[in-house]
Amino acid sequence: MLLEVRDVHKSYSSPGKTVQALDGVSISLAAGDFTAVQGPSGSGKSTLLLISGGLLAADRGEVQVADQAPYRLASDARARFRAQHIGFVFQQFHLVPYLSVLDNVMAATIPTGLNGAAARAKELLAQFGLEHRLHHVPGQLSVGERQRTALARAVLNRPQLILADEPTGNLDRDSAETVLSYLGTFAEEGGAVLLVTHDDSAAARAKSIVHMVDGKIVDVSGGSGDS
Amino acid sequence: MSVWHLILREIAHRKLNFLLALISVAVAVGCLVGARTLLRSNQLVTADILAAKQQQVEDDVAKQRRIVQQEGAGLQDAMRKITKGLGFNILILPEDQDLHELHVEGTGSQTMPESHVDKLANSRIVTINHLLPVVSKKISWDEYDRTIILTGTRGEVPLAHRDLKKPLLDHVPEGTMVVGFQLHTQLGLKKEDKVKLMGREFTITETYPERGSADDSTVWVNLGEAQEMLGMQNLVNAIWALECNCATLDRVAEIRSDIAEILPGTQVIERGSEALARAEARNKAKATAQAALKYEEQAGQESLQREADGRALIEKQASDFAAVLVPVVMIGCGIWIGFLAMMNVRQRSTEIGILRAIGLTSTQILAIFLGKSVLVGLVGGILGYAGGYAVGVAWSEYAPDAESAEVLFMPSLAIIALVVAPALSALAGWLPAMWAAQQDPAVILQGD
Ligand SMILES: Nc1ncnc2c1ncn2[C@@H]1O[C@H](COP(=O)(O)OP(=O)(O)O)[C@@H](O)[C@H]1O
Ligand SMILES: [Mg+2]
pLDDT value, residue B205: 92
As a whole number of Å, the CA-based R_g of chain B is 49
Q: Are residues B28 and B120 in the same domain?
A: no
If 0-12 CB within 10 Å is exposed, 13-18 middle and 19+ buried, where does residue B199 land?
exposed
Does A41 contact ligand 1 (Cβ within 6 A)? yes
- Residue A141 clears pLDDT 90, i.e. is over it: yes
> What are the average pLDDT values for consecutive 10-residue runs of chain B, which has 448 residues?
92 93 91 87 86 89 85 72 64 91 87 91 82 90 91 80 66 90 93 92 92 88 92 91 67 83 89 62 74 86 88 87 87 91 92 93 94 94 91 77 74 85 91 92 80
Q: Is residue A186 part of a domain?
A: yes
pLDDT value, residue A225: 58
Per-residue pLDDT tens over the stretch A32-44 = 999 999 999 999 9
- Total domains, chain A: 1
Q: Is residue A109 part of a domain?
A: no
- In angstroms, what separates the C-alpha of B448 from chain A's closest C-alpha? 7
Q: Is residue B283 part of a domain?
A: no
Nearest listed ligand to the Cα of residue A14: 1
Q: Is the model more confident about B412 or about A176? A: A176
Q: Is residue B435 part of a domain?
A: yes
Record: contact B359-A108, CB cut-off 8 A? yes
Q: Is residue A140 part of a domain?
A: no
Q: Fill in the DSSP letter of residue B130.
A: E
* Pairing between β-strand A208-213 and β-strand A34-38 as defined by DSSP bridges: parallel
pLDDT value, residue B43: 85
Q: Are residues B60 and B128 in the same domain?
A: no
Q: Is B431 on the interface with A (CB under 8 A)?
A: no
Does B443 contact ligand 1 (Cβ within 6 A)? yes
Percentage helix, strand, coil, to 5, in chain A? 35, 30, 35
Q: Are residues B143 and B265 in the same domain?
A: yes
Q: Is residue B71 part of a domain?
A: no
Q: Fill in the DSSP letter of residue B264.
A: T
Q: How confident is the model at residue A227 (pLDDT cuts 50, 70, 90)?
A: very low
End position of a domain, from candidates B253, B270, B287: B270
Q: Are residues B254 and B353 in the same domain?
A: no
Q: Are residues B246 and B337 in the same domain?
A: no
Partners of A106 on chain B (C-beta within 8 Å) are 1
Q: Which residue type, as a one-letter code, is found at position B164?
A: L
pTM score, two decimals? 0.67
Q: Is residue B83 part of a domain?
A: no
Q: Is residue A197 part of a domain?
A: yes
Q: Is residue A152 part of a domain?
A: no
Q: Is the model more confident about B392 or about A31? A: A31
pLDDT value, residue B41: 85
* Pairing between β-strand B238-243 and β-strand B194-197 as defined by DSSP bridges: unpaired
Q: Is B444 on the interface with A (CB under 8 A)?
A: no
pLDDT value, residue A226: 47
Q: Is residue A23 part of a domain?
A: yes
Q: Are residues B262 and B135 in the same domain?
A: yes
For the question of an ipTM over 0.90, the answer is yes
**Distance between CA atoms of B351 and B341, rounded to whole angstroms?**
15
End position of a domain, from candidates B235, B270, B305: B270
Record: contact B448-A76, CB cut-off 8 A? no
Q: Is residue A195 part of a domain?
A: yes
CB neighbour list of residue B301: distance below 8 Å, 6 or more residues apart: B57
Q: Is residue B75 part of a domain?
A: no
- Residue A30 clears pLDDT 90, i.e. is over it: yes
Mutate to test the interface with B, among A22, A56, A75, A98 (most CBs of B within 10 A): A98
Q: Is residue B285 part of a domain?
A: no
Give the side-chain half-sphere CA count within 13 A for A145: 18
Provide the domain limits for residue B243: 90-270
**pLDDT > 70: percent of chain A:** 98
Q: Are residues B362 and B231 in the same domain?
A: no
Q: Is residue B284 part of a domain?
A: no
- Indicate which CATH number applies to the domain containing A202: 3.40.50.300
Cβ-contact A197, A38 below 8 angstroms = yes
pLDDT value, residue B81: 64
Ligand 2: centre distance to CA B438 (Å):
23
Within 10 Å of residue B249's Cβ, how many Cβ atoms? 10
Per-residue pLDDT tens over the stretch A194-217 = 999 988 999 999 999 999 999 999
Q: Are residues B46 and B150 in the same domain?
A: no
- Total domains, chain B: 2
pLDDT value, residue B126: 77
Q: Is B335 on the interface with A (CB under 8 A)?
A: no
Record: contact A112-B441, CB cut-off 8 A? no
As a whole number of Å, the CA-based R_g of chain A is 17
Q: Is the model more confident about A191 or about B165? A: A191
Q: Is residue B78 part of a domain?
A: no
